[in-house]
Structure 1
Amino acid sequence: MEPLPRETIVDVLERRLQEDILDGTHPAGSLLPPEQRLAEGYGVTRTTVKHAFGRLTQAGLLETRHGVGTRVRDYLRLGGADLLPMLVRHNPEWLADIFEVRAGVGTLIAERAAAKATPPQRARLRTLLDAVAAATEPDAVQLADAEVHRALARATGNRVYVLLTNTLFAAYLPLRVRLVAPFHDPAESAARLEPLVTAVAAGDPATARTAAQAYLGETQRIMLEALEPS
């Protein structure tokens, strides 16, 4: 169990404005009402509005120019992958796009890892696969599985693949508990990963790519089925 978050009035206003921006109530390029008018409309202080604006500016949703006002940024044109956790939390339909990228990037990582991995990296993958099988509950299995994929990304020798892998895992965080379905059985989870690890350890790029496609396709199917309303 995790303690429930204690929300402040700034948290509530930030979330309200964020939802209004992502829903299109405040479309990209539009100016928000002046701080004082927003404060009066929401029944909060102007300081609260300033703090909420500051957070949303840091998140990449707003920009403020002296003498002009606070404008909604076109996050689809100007934003980066760091927005994904927020977007998934707002609308789980973003997962379909994330899974598509996951499949494409994952197969490339597997193929390159098989070609580039060093002997210590191949051995490390085996150790991490054993950790998946040895995990005792779904959350631990899920985290152990993630470490296998981080190790695969490192084995490519390409640091951008490492960052992309981290970004995709971060995007899952808002729905992580609901994506645990493939990890309920540690032995089954390890067996699902084993062909991929074996192919990379054997230095077989073509087989690694095929194994990655099978793994990513099967886990995606299980996750999406779990998200469907019963």
Structure 2
Amino acid sequence: MEALPRETIVDALEKRLREDILAERHPAGSYLPPERELADGFGVTRTSLKHAFERLAHAGLLETRHGVGTRVRDFLRLGGADLLPMLVLHSPDWIGEIFEVRRSIGMLIAERAATRATAAQVAELRLLLAAVGDAAGGEPVQLADVEVHRALARATGNRVYVLLTNTLFNAYLPVRGALVGPFEVPRAARDRLTPVVEAVAAGDQEAARTAAGDYLSATERMMLDGLARSRRRREGAR
């Protein structure tokens, strides 16, 4: 283990240990080496190491028992969706699995919204859809698009769908810049989303489900292509 730069010591320790845990160099259920051994190996103080442990415990990756040691939690068995942004940061491969859930949940949300949306919610959806077309392109369109999906989730009348929608969007944050492909042309982004909103407005469950599936599949392909290009650029720069 090599010494870490002093000016970012806790951040560097947290990152190093997090990567070791997520890469299973410290398997779930195993105990980390004694603090003194780890601190000496990294060339840091035990105080810095404890701060890093606290952050990782807060993230749900470690648990410390006084007099026993610090153990790696089985986050895949015990963790929640709040871990997704960290997992995406570790490996963008998680995005494919997130998109699979996004597609199935998004279709269900559109179907439910078609049967439950009020007149006021339909009016809000149309206003938010117009904002997608009026945004400047790229990130502003991406953020405007997010608000349409939040409104669709609210229109289901089920707050769990709202929280699931928030969770899935939060999972994108570490790689959001590579996912702007579908949002670079505002009018095109609006037009892709329009059939979903209009089917919900018409109260047509089947049309809403189909339109949402088409929209989510199309944007998924574009975003995965953008992510692959970003990865190739990073690898070419090494």
TM-score w.r.t. structure 1 length?
A: 0.96
Cα distance, 1:67 vs structure 2: 1.6
- RMSD across aligned C-alpha pairs, in angstroms? 0.9
Q: Which residue of 2 aligns with 1:211?
A: 211
The count of corresponding residues between Structure 1 and Structure 2 is 224
Q: 1:141, 1:97 → 2: CA distance?
A: 24
Q: AA paired with 2:43?
A: G
Q: Which residue of 1 aligns with 2:37?
A: 37
* Structure-2 residue corresponding to 1:117: 117
Q: Which runs of 4+ in 1 moved over 2 A?
A: none
- Deviation of 1:16 after TM superposition, in Å, equals 0.2
In the other structure, the counterpart of 1:9 is: 9
What is the aligned partner in structure 1 of residue 87 from structure 2? 87
Which whole-Å deviations, capped at 9, do the CAs of 1:45-103 have from their partners, x for residues lacking one? 11100000000000000001112100000000000000000000000000111000000
Show the counterpart of 1:75: 75
Where does structure 1 lack aligned partners over 5 or more consecutive residues?
Answer: 1-6
Q: Which position in structure 2 is the counterpart of 1:60?
A: 60
Deviation at 1:8, TM superposition (A): 2.4
**Paired amino acid for 2:84:** L
Structure 2 alignment gaps of length 5 or more:
1-6, 233-238
Please tell me the residue identity of whatever aligns with 2:115.
A
Q: Equivalents in 2 of 1:224, 1:18: separation in Å?
A: 25
* Counterpart secondary structure, 1:71: strand
Identity %: 68
Matches within 5 A, 1:1-230: 8-229=8-229
CA distance in structure 1 between the aligned counterparts of 2:66 and 2:228, rounded to whole angstroms: 47
User: Counterparts of 1:124 and 1:169 in 2: how far apart (Å)?
Assistant: 20
Deviation of 1:228 after TM superposition, in Å, equals 1.9
Give the CA deviation at 1:174: 0.3
Scaled by the length of structure 2, the TM-score of the pair is 0.93
Please list the CA deviations of residues 118-146 of structure 1 after superposition, one character each: whole Å capped at 9, or x if unmatched: 11000000000000000012110000000
Deviations 1:169-222 (A, max 9, x none): 000000000000000000000000000000011111110000000000000011
Alpha-carbon distance between aligned partners in 1 of 2:143 and 2:227, rounded to the nearest angstrom: 19
Query: Residue 93 of structure 1 aligns to which amino acid in structure 2?
Result: D
Counterpart-to-counterpart distance in 1, 2:133 and 2:191:
8
Partner residue, 2:3: none
